[in-house]
Amino acid sequence: MQRDVLKDNELKLLLLRYGLTFKKLLEENELVKTEGNKVKPSLVTSLGQLSSATGLRKATLSEIFRGNSNPRAATIYTILNALDKSFTDFSKYFDNFKDKEVSDFYKEIEKAKKERKNKIKK
């Protein structure tokens, strides 16, 4: 039983790292685009654009970006390709997050979830 909990916690941390990594890569694109990058004016900077570029549903991407879905390697590749990023770019973030960054990201997600629930109740 305790091993299952440990595996569940490890999986959740992995999924959060995926989500946080994709969030950072998307933010990187936003920065490049707002700095007036004329080389790549069609740079993907939103989930809607990413959905159009990948053919993946926006809801599916949202689940991945929030750390609620375990994407297959082909899905990761498809997302990276649409973001004009490589697996090397991906690993620069994924491999270097501190536990606190992942924890803060989780808290941010939970706070947003709570705010959405409160809006619905009103």
Domain ranges of the chain: 2-121
- 10-residue mean pLDDT profile of the chain (122 residues): values are 70 95 95 72 90 97 96 97 96 95 95 86 66
DSSP assignment, residue 67?
T
The percent helix, strand, coil of the chain (3-state, each to 5) is 75, 0, 25
- At 109, the amino acid letter reads I
Q: What CATH number belongs to 2-121?
A: 1.10.260.40
